[in-house]
Amino acid sequence: MDKLFLEDRVLLQVEKPARYIGNEVNAIYKNKEEVAIRFALCFPDVYDIGMSHLGLSILYNLLNQRDDLWCERVFSPWVDLDRIMEEENIPLFALESQEPIKTFDFIGITIQYEMCYTNILRILDLAQIPLLSKDRTEDHPLVCAGGPCVYNPEPISDFIDFFYIGEGEVQLDALMDAYKHHRENGGTKKAFLEIAATIEGIYVPSFYNVSYYEDGTIERFVPNHPKAKPQVKKVIMMDMTQSRYPMKPIVPYIQTVHDRVVLELFRGCARGCRFCQAGIIYRPVREKDLEILKEQAIEIVKNTGHDEISLISLSSSDYSQLNALASYLIEAPELAHVNLSLPSLRIDDFSIELMRKVQDVRKSSLTFAPEAGSQRMRDVINKNISEEDILQGAYEAFMGGWNRVKMYFMLGLPTETEEDVLAIPKLGQDIVNKWFTMPGDMRKQRLQIVLSTSFFIPKPFTPFQWMGQASSDTFLEKAKLINKNINKKNIKYNSHDADTSRIEGVLARGDRKLNEVILKVYQKGARYDAWSEHFNVTLWNEAFDELNMDSGFYNERRRELEEILPWDFIDTGVKKSFLYDEFLLAKEGKTTVNCMEGCTNCGAMCFEGGICYARKT
């Protein structure tokens, strides 16, 4: 493809013009005259971030396996190009064909974090497509969305025509088949929504009505269309070994966040940390077979030329074949010049030994995520790691040659006291003390500990979904308390932005009334809210004020069990009663076994596979 949509004049004005030229190795080109469906697959953030996302690569591969469809990529133009496109009225285009997306059949948006909602509106706006679903006509693409955020789709339900709840491998083909058939028979795009609504996992928000009590909570959530299902059940891929994995992922020209081969070990997580949404919505754990992973590693390296392989999952230590896989990847002659990187490991002797084998100790720092400082607090969140584990892990790491340690914590967890907060700097200090128990000749380098806190955000489909989020002021006080008590000699302390956490908390558990707020914030100029240098909380505060709405209703308010939550109509397989039982156990500081140790009957067994059954055989 020699065609570029942007003129040289424009490309020469912007930072990293290679973000906008397509043409990368393994990008897929088709003859647009020969395809029935044009699909713009969109990640609403900058190219460098979006191209690092495995889900996007999986969907791109999946959709393009169809001969009748051309799936192309769209990312948010960076702020420099954004400005030029606005000034010169340049429509947003797809990277492959370098053609405007406003005439495509579909715009499919993957939504990975709430703070990109204004970027979604920006994408539609730059594409010159009406923002509101109801204002779009047959001349416009159908706009659909998927990803973890759509487990509560309500805050953006006015902008999206339909949502896909679950994993793309399962229903995308059926959906596209149905669309093609419908269009060939002369059906309209609007009418296609009625067909989509009947497909499992698909939610068409305009087919439902929501009424509210005076206090703003939901009175009724009911279908207004005969084709609309009262409950929308997520769809997930049960046989991960047979799932279609991208063997020829695109190789970006520019440095992206993850510039390497990514091997997906399994989906789901057995751990059951009570703050973690991913740990619930992706249940049950479904592993990929060791042999297929070995084959895929070799072939993807051959097809991309990457010099690093990364293992990805929610908790890589829990992969039953981790040792065998890591040994193979280290020793395979085909991978002689390929490094292995191992994120998301639990800290124990085994993983320290493994990391020592594969990583350059001098360059890498070791990351621990105890999430909470005190044992009591870790029991509340069901993070089953003891202080002894952490200190012993740190000691092993120091003896292994590491002198840089990063630690992640959350502030504002349910039932948190001052004592729990102070346990964070204390744990940091205990680790410093561990360092000094090492023989002197092991301590030639300077110890560097970085301690980071983020603010706890209750998310839908977690046992904490009923909890109130702490106010920004409370967060800042807690952060200040840590800062005052930290030993600054060896420990560096970072704290996340409280305003961002507040807005994320609002959006995460929002209802349909938030559509108006998001639209207003967007119109006020909000862009790239996920980027601290672009996030402007004033715009959000103004929007709430002007609409006479209270953001605290969404994030700080404590919900009752009886309340209809905006996302209750989605069925993740995990029962609401299980979440509530977990909530009660949390308040008592009682832990729950993980799925490897025993079944807690959460409900995910309804998918008839994965760890729920593997454990039994």
Partner 1 sequence: MLVRLKFKKEGPIRFVGHLDMMRTFQKMFTRAGIPIAYSEGFNPHQIFSFASALAVGVSSESEYMDVKLTEDVAINVLIEAINLKAPEGIFFLDGVEIDNKETSAMASVVAATYRIEVLNSIITEDMLSAMMSQETLIIRKKNKKGKINDFDLRPGIINILLKDKHLIMTIANGSHFNIKPEMVLEKLLALNDLNYVRCDYRFHRVEIYHDHNGLRPLLEVKLGL
Task: List residues binding partner 1 (CB under 8 A).
Answer: 1-2, 4, 7-9, 11-13, 17-18, 21-25, 251, 253-255, 259, 301-307, 337, 360, 362
- CB atoms closer than 10 angstroms to residue 363: 7
Give the nearest distance from C-beta 9 to partner 1 in angstroms: 4
Give the nearest distance from C-beta 250 to partner 1 in angstroms: 11
Nearer to partner 1, 337 or 484 (CB): 337
Nearer to partner 1, 253 or 580 (CB): 253
Nearer to partner 1, 300 or 413 (CB): 300
Give the nearest distance from C-beta 18 to partner 1 in angstroms: 5
Nearer to partner 1, 18 or 584 (CB): 18
DSSP codes, 435-460: HHTS-GGG--SPPEEEEEEEE----T
Give the nearest distance from C-beta 596 to partner 1 in angstroms: 37
Nearer to partner 1, 12 or 489 (CB): 12
Most distant CA pair in the chain, distance: 79
Nearer to partner 1, 303 or 320 (CB): 303
Cα torsion angle, 43, 45, 48, 52, sign: negative
Give the nearest distance from C-beta 52 to partner 1 in angstroms: 15
Give the nearest distance from C-beta 96 to partner 1 in angstroms: 11
* 218 Cβ contact list (under 8 Å, min separation 6): 210, 211, 212, 511, 563, 564, 565, 566
Give the nearest distance from C-beta 507 to partner 1 in angstroms: 35
Give the nearest distance from C-beta 226 to partner 1 in angstroms: 50
Task: Give me Rg for the CA atoms of the chain.
Answer: 24
Nearer to partner 1, 256 or 551 (CB): 256
Give the nearest distance from C-beta 193 to partner 1 in angstroms: 37
**What is each CA distance from 532 to 526, 529, 596, in whole angstroms?**
12, 7, 39
**Closest Cα partner for 143 from 191, 107, 94?**
107
Residues 274, 463: contact at Cβ < 8 Å? yes
CA–CA separation, 300 and 27 (whole Å):
14
Give the nearest distance from C-beta 370 to partner 1 in angstroms: 31
Token pair for 372? 């909470």
- CB atoms closer than 10 angstroms to residue 287: 20
CA–CA separation, 51 and 289 (whole Å):
26
Give the nearest distance from C-beta 310 to partner 1 in angstroms: 16
Nearer to partner 1, 317 or 364 (CB): 364
Nearer to partner 1, 24 or 264 (CB): 24
Nearer to partner 1, 230 or 305 (CB): 305
Do the strands 218-223 and 208-212 form a parallel or antiparallel pair, or are they unpaired? antiparallel
Residue 336, exposed/middle/buried by CB under 10 A (0-12, 13-18, 19+)? Answer: exposed
Residues 19, 254: contact at Cβ < 8 Å? yes
CA–CA separation, 582 and 265 (whole Å):
27
**489: amino acid identity, one letter:** K
Tell me the CA end-to-end span of the chain in Å, nearest whole number.
Answer: 53
CA–CA separation, 436 and 442 (whole Å):
10
* 126 Cβ contact list (under 8 Å, min separation 6): 77, 82, 85, 86, 91, 92
Token pair for 349? 């002797």
Nearer to partner 1, 95 or 565 (CB): 95
What's the residue count for the chain? 617
Give the nearest distance from C-beta 417 to partner 1 in angstroms: 47
CA–CA separation, 559 and 510 (whole Å):
12
Nearer to partner 1, 4 or 278 (CB): 4
**Closest Cα partner for 202 from 171, 226, 179, 224?**
171
